[in-house]
Amino acid sequence: MKTNIRFTALFLLSAGFLFMSGGCSKSPEDAREALGAMNIQYTEEAFLDRVENNDLPAVELFITAGMNPEVRDGSPLQKAAGHGHIEIVRLLLDHSADVNAKATTNRTALMAASRGGHTEIVGLLLDQNADVNVEESTGDTALIYASREGYEAIVRLLVEKGADVNAKGLRGTALKMASSEGHTEIVRLLLESAVAVNVRNDAGNTALIDASSGGNAEIVRLLLDRGADVSIKNNVGNTPLIDGSRGGHVGVVRLLLNHDQDVEIKNNAGDTALMDASRGGHVKVVELLKAAGATE
């Protein structure tokens, strides 16, 4: 009995292999038969599952059997790109999958690959004229995703292909996202372009406010060198100095105090940088603020 089971399993697996290696004619009917022998149904759901699981032989059989590579608004290409399955991406593109197909959220394969950090796939899609400036329903772009996740090589590729460095997504621009997440080299790269440094997101936060709040002194320095506004307030009235002081970030506070500003400025709750630093027990920051003239 065990011998028969082993033989049957080998037969099912070999059906697909023989098809792919030329063991039988490559007609749609033969491809569907080979899929059946592998216990794979010829459905869109099964096709997408094989794409997601990087089953290249099965995906090739689906394509030969007549499956549309753009089913469900280009989901196969987006899935393959997002999961880093480059050979399947190549296969789908070779069979005329639309490189700029959009999902219901307007997401493209380039966005998926950029968000996933798949540099080689991003390069391949760009070579196929992928649109670098498509915006998802949130306003986010491939560049914003790559900047947020810290994929410097992808950011460089996208910028070189003309990505809009000032596109504004759900939480802000690429520069703001890189500053917020502490990706210093990406901030440096973006600042080499015509990027606007004082763009606010819906909460009123800028790249400098986020970098100050996060305590990243090097990013703060880079932004200040490009003219970032040290006195800008977010929606609750916090400035870079207030946020940096609240966090006890000595290096950030020292940098900010080297630029002219009102150290007594209050947020919407009536709190100053000195109040927040004192409340948090940040002794060194309190000393710096008092030395700069803060009294309350």
Phi, psi of 173 (to 5 degrees): -85, 175
Give the domains, in start order, of the chain with CATH numbers: 234-296 (1.25.40.20)
Q: Print pLDDT tens along the chain (296 aa).
A: 444 333 333 434 444 444 444 444 479 999 999 999 999 999 999 999 999 999 999 999 999 999 999 898 778 999 999 999 999 999 999 999 999 999 889 999 999 999 999 999 999 999 999 999 999 999 999 999 999 999 999 999 999 999 999 999 999 999 999 999 999 999 999 999 999 999 999 999 999 999 999 999 999 999 999 999 999 999 999 999 999 999 999 999 999 999 988 999 999 999 999 999 999 999 999 999 999 999 98
Q: What is the Cα–Cα distance from 138 to 131, expressed in whole angstroms? A: 17
| Bridge partners (DSSP) listed for residue 168 | 173
d(CA 215, CA 243): 9
Q: CA 171 to CA 206: how far, in whole Å?
A: 10
d(CA 151, CA 178): 10
CA distance 21 to 60: 12
**Nearest-angstrom CA–CA distance, 113 and 229:** 34
Q: Residue 124 CA to chain centroid, in angstroms?
A: 17
